[in-house]
Amino acid sequence: MEKEHNHNHEIESASGRVLVSIFMNIIITVLEVVFGILSRSLSLVSDSMHNLSDTISGILTLWTLRLSERKHNERFTFGYRRSQIISAFVNSSVLLVIAALLIREAILRFLTPEVINVSLMLPVAVVGLIANSISVILLHSHAHNLNIRSAYLHLLSDALSSVAVVLGAIFMWIFRIYWIDPLLTVLIAIYMGYEAFEIVKESTLILLETTPSTIDLKEVEKSVCDVPGVVNIHHVHIWRLDDETTLLEAHVNVLPNTSVEETKNIRLKIEEILRKDFGIAHTNIQFECNEHLEDKLIKDH
């Protein structure tokens, strides 16, 4: 009961901090868009797009935090945990599109450069940097939670891009070299695109139920077959429910005349090995005796 109370308190505390960061990002996004247009600073507008993605990310994080408190039911027997993966995929896909559009605009600005009003751009860029830094500090203590960590990394990357915008504004103010603005836009967009692509790739692999890259099926086979009484393992499927939970289902052949009690002990030993050595939290094992002895680790369908 105490553990559940602490868990609920953790979610409440984290939700409050995420909510504060959402409101701060909304304000900064509006300010940077307005003053980015007025000052003709494309890098400030691009930073606002990054802030917008942080706002969306924060909203999705808050939603999935609340959703994760719901229990599984007859329709959602695995619960609602995979909703986090879907939201990550959608959010990052949108971010990829934004990055591509920013690069296009930057190329056009290179071809037709404009004078930047640094006196308007610089103060807003500094305010954006301060706000992003505060948001990073707010979520830092909860970054051990993977869901919150994704939002935390979004904010951290945005704080770094804000640093680039501020430095660019100072550079333009001193040297009057305005092509630095579209150059910074391209660099920020490339970073955003890379970050988004990695999340899209990872979430796609989870949704396709691929075997995690950290798990070697041959090592799983060897470890299971080393358990006394096991003949072989086949029809193996390993996949992730989300970025934290790995599952396995498999058929395991045991020696003839193995009793029910011995089979139970074999199952417990296999589950312990899979949990400790491979991080597989949930297993579904079908035991067989002298069946499918020639079947492969991965069944050809």
pLDDT digits (tens, 9 = 90+) for 215-268: 999 999 999 999 999 999 999 999 999 888 899 999 999 998 899 999 999 999
Of the spans 172-176, 191-195, 197-201, which averages the highest pLDDT? 197-201
- Note whether 286 and 252 are within 8 A (CB): yes
pLDDT band for 4, please (50, 70, 90 cuts): very low
Rounded Cα distance between 217 and 296, Å, is 12
* Residue 1: per-residue pLDDT: 45
* Residue 182: per-residue pLDDT: 80
H/E stretch holding 123 reads helix 118-140
pLDDT band for 214, please (50, 70, 90 cuts): very high
Domains (range + CATH), the chain? 2-207 (1.20.1510.10), 217-289 (3.30.70.1350)
For residues 36-44, average pLDDT = 81
Q: What is the pLDDT of residues 61-97, one digit of tens each?
A: 888 878 877 888 888 888 887 887 887 788 788 878 8
Does 113 or 58 have the greater pLDDT score? Answer: 58
For residues 156-162, average pLDDT = 74
For residues 182-202, average pLDDT = 84
pLDDT band for 148, please (50, 70, 90 cuts): confident
For residues 25-39, average pLDDT = 88
Q: What is the pLDDT of residues 102-144, one digit of tens each?
A: 888 888 878 877 777 778 778 888 888 888 888 888 877 766 6
Rounded Cα distance between 84 and 111, Å, is 41
pTM of the model: 0.77
- Note whether 203 and 267 are within 8 A (CB): no
Q: Give, to the nearest 10 degrees, the angle between helix 146-175 and helix 42-67.
A: 170
Q: How many CA atoms lie within 13 A of 109 on its CB side?
A: 24
Measuring CA to CA, how many Å separate 223 from each of 35, 233, 281? Answer: 61, 10, 16
